């Protein structure tokens, strides 16, 4: 025997045996995870409910306070806008070159009635519409607000365009009409304006339409163009409303008959082309009829005196 005995090797426990993992079934693991998730979910819901409850309490307290603040703000704004004198009309501004104060302009007089009223409550568009219908001789009526307390009036009147004479048995009156055909002045005349005789049985008064604007424009154009094209003055014009004709009386006392449904340029152009064969400056004529066209459209009919 030797000096040393060989020890018998005992059984050893391997590392795997000493630290063996807990091998649980998968279903058990899932149940644990599910319970853990449920606990987290319940905890989160409790926190959310607690937060919402706190928010409702805050809102319950804050809502009346907010309404009170809004009410105070609205009261202050309302007082400034509608109760205080801040927006009370105290001044009417206008252009003295277009509005004659000495003649007591009716539009200005009407607008002055708003002094002392709240400027924010004035409907300028409605007032403009009323004034335009009441005073049709004004081409433009503009009312503007200049805050806090001033109304600004802008007026543009229709230009005086012609003298109108209405003459029938036992009746004779003179008027001056504006460019919109409305009677602006009665029983007066302006020698610097054209004269138009009007055949009508209607009673003419200020503010009433004497001649439709398009017909008035035709007469004025015919008068002006004839004088410029032929160098001959027109003494007056006669407008036959029913027949739709205009007769221009020249300085040589013959008439030029024109159709209001045919343009001035077309009718006077036809007379211009006829000049070589028709001497309007020397011949003694009663009238020239430009209403009727021949087959070629350039026929001029005339009557010697």
Q: Which helix (H) or strand (E) holds 50?
A: helix 26-78
Query: Helices 264-274 & 213-230, crossing angle to 10 degrees?
Result: 20
- Domain CATH code at residue 119: 3.10.20.310
The range of the structural domain enclosing residue 179 comes to: 160-304
Give yes or no: residues 171 and 288 share one domain.
yes
Residue 124 is predicted with a pLDDT of 93
Question: Which H or E run contains 27?
Answer: helix 26-78
Structural domain includes residue 15? no
What's the whole-model pTM score?
0.67
How many domains, the chain?
Answer: 3
Residue-by-residue pLDDT tens, the chain, 305 positions: 444 455 555 544 444 445 555 555 666 656 666 666 666 666 666 666 667 666 677 777 777 777 877 877 776 666 665 666 788 999 999 888 777 665 678 999 999 999 999 998 999 999 999 999 998 889 999 999 998 999 999 999 899 999 999 988 888 999 999 999 999 999 999 999 999 999 888 888 998 999 999 999 999 999 999 999 999 999 999 999 999 999 999 999 999 999 999 999 999 999 999 999 999 999 999 999 999 865 455 678 999 98
Residue 43 placed within a domain: no
Q: Which two tokens stand for residue 165?
A: 């004479």
C-alpha dihedral over 60, 65, 68, 74, to 10 degrees? -110
Residue 21 lies inside a defined structural domain of this protein: no
Domain stop point among 131, 157, 183: 157
- 78 and 107 both lie in a single domain: no
Unique residue bearing structure tokens 């409850």: 53
Q: Do residue 274 and residue 150 come from a single domain?
A: no
Specify the DSSP class assigned to residue 113.
G
pLDDT score at 1: 44
Q: Return d(Cα 288, Cα 268) in angstroms, integer.
A: 11
Q: What's the confidence (pLDDT) of residue 71?
A: 77
DSSP 254-273: -EEEEETTS-HHHHHHHHHH
> Is the residue at 218 inside a domain?
yes
| 237 and 180 inside one domain | yes
CB atoms within 10 A of CB 256: 25
Beta partners for residue 174, in sequence order = 165
Contact 164, 170 (CB under 8 A): no
């Amino acid at each position: 025997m030797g000096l040393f005995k060989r020890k018998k090797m005992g059984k050893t426990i391997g590392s795997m045996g000493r630290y063996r993992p807990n091998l649980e079934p998968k279903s058990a693991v899932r149940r644990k995870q599910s319970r853990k998730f449920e606990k987290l979910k319940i905890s989160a819901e409790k926190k959310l409910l607690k937060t919402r409850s706190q928010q409702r309490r805050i809102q319950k307290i804050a809502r009346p306070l907010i309404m009170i603040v809004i009410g105070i703000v609205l009261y202050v704004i309302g007082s400034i806008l509608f109760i205080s004198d801040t927006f009370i009309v105290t001044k009417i501004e206008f252009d003295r070159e277009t509005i004659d104060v000495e003649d007591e302009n009716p539009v200005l007089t009407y607008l002055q009635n708003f002094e002392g009223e709240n400027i924010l409550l004035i409907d300028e568009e409605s007032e403009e519409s009323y004034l335009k219908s009441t005073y049709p001789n004004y081409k433009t009526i503009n009312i503007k607000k200049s805050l806090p307390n001033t109304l600004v009036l802008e007026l543009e009147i229709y230009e005086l365009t012609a003298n109108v004479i209405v003459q029938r048995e036992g009746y004779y009156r003179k008027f001056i009409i504006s460019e919109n055909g409305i009677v602006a002045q009665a029983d007066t005349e302006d020698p610097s304006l054209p004269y138009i005789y009007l055949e009508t049985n209607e009673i003419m008064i200020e503010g009433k339409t004497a001649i439709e604007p398009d017909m008035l424009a035709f007469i004025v154009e015919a008068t002006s163009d004839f004088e410029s094209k032929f160098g001959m003055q027109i003494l007056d014009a006669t407008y036959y409303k029913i027949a739709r004709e205009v007769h221009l009386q020249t300085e040589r006392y013959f008439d030029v008959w024109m159709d209001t449904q045919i343009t001035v340029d077309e009718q006077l152009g036809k007379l211009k082309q006829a000049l070589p064969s028709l001497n309007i400056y020397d011949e003694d004529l009663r009238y020239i009829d430009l209403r009727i066209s021949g087959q070629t459209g350039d026929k001029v009919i005339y009557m010697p005196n």
